[in-house]
Amino acid sequence: MASLKKVLKKKKYLKVKLKKIATNHLELKAKINGVKGRFILDTGASISCVGIDQISYFNLITEDSDLKAAGAGAIDMLTKRSSSNEIQLGKWKIDSCDLVLLDLGHINTVLKQSEAKEVHGIIGADLLESGKAFIDYGEKCLYLKKVKRKKLKKLPF
């Protein structure tokens, strides 16, 4: 039987390295608008997000949002949104992606307490679905289908 790696390569999937950190989360490097950052891979997060304190770091243009976010022990968090951002995970890239911006302080506090590095954001199911993702936990890598000039569907808020 052919290996998963060979099958996915034949189907034009691109490999992105993952790193297991002290909290057992999987971390990956990504670029937003050409700027490198550290992100947690979270299949349970419906939308990819960036820390609200990272607006200038990633050159984001933002607008207010009515969406209240919840997760990882926090509820009713105020958010902003940023449209038309370029996202790159390894060699996989999307030209126009919307992001939610929110306070990730509670997440980064837990990471620091566990002696892990802080993250800039979270890669969620929106990007994973768009890339038809496969996660190989044994090899600690993410596979995303290569696409031409892909644009992610707009956020519903």
Least confident of 70-74, 103-107, 134-138, 152-156: 70-74
Q: Which CATH architecture describes the domain 11-145? A: Beta Barrel (2.40)
Q: Output the pLDDT for position 38.
A: 98
Residue 1 has pLDDT above 50, yes or no: no
Q: Is 106 helix (H, G, I), strand (E, B) or coil?
A: helix
Average confidence score pLDDT of the chain: 88
Q: Taking the chain, what is the end-to-end CA distance rounded to the nearest angstrom?
A: 45
Centre a 10 Å sphere on the Cβ of residue 90 and count the other Cβ atoms it contains: 17
pLDDT in tens, 131-143: 999 999 999 999 9
pLDDT in tens, 106-132: 899 999 999 999 999 999 999 999 999
Q: Using CA atoms in the order 91, 104, 62, 129, what is the torsion angle rounded to 10 degrees?
A: 40
Q: Output the pLDDT for position 144.
A: 97
Q: What percent of the chain is modeled with pLDDT above 90?
A: 75
For the chain, give every domain's residue range. Answer: 11-145
Q: Output the pLDDT for position 66.
A: 66
| pLDDT band (50, 70, 90) for residue 78 | confident
Q: Output the pLDDT for position 150.
A: 53
Q: How far is the C-alpha of 10 from the C-alpha of 29, rounded, in Å?
A: 24
19 within 8 A of 90, measured Cβ to Cβ: no
Q: Output the pLDDT for position 82.
A: 94
Instruction: Record the pTM.
Output: 0.86
Q: Is 111 helix (H, G, I), strand (E, B) or coil?
A: helix
Residue 72 has pLDDT above 70, yes or no: no
Q: How far is the C-alpha of 34 from the C-alpha of 73, rounded, in Å?
A: 31
Q: Using CA atoms in the order 17, 121, 13, 24, what is the torsion angle rounded to 10 degrees?
A: 50
Q: What mean pLDDT is predicted for residues 133-155?
A: 81
Residue 54 has pLDDT above 80, yes or no: yes
Q: How far is the C-alpha of 137 from the C-alpha of 61, rounded, in Å?
A: 35
121 within 8 A of 140, measured Cβ to Cβ: no
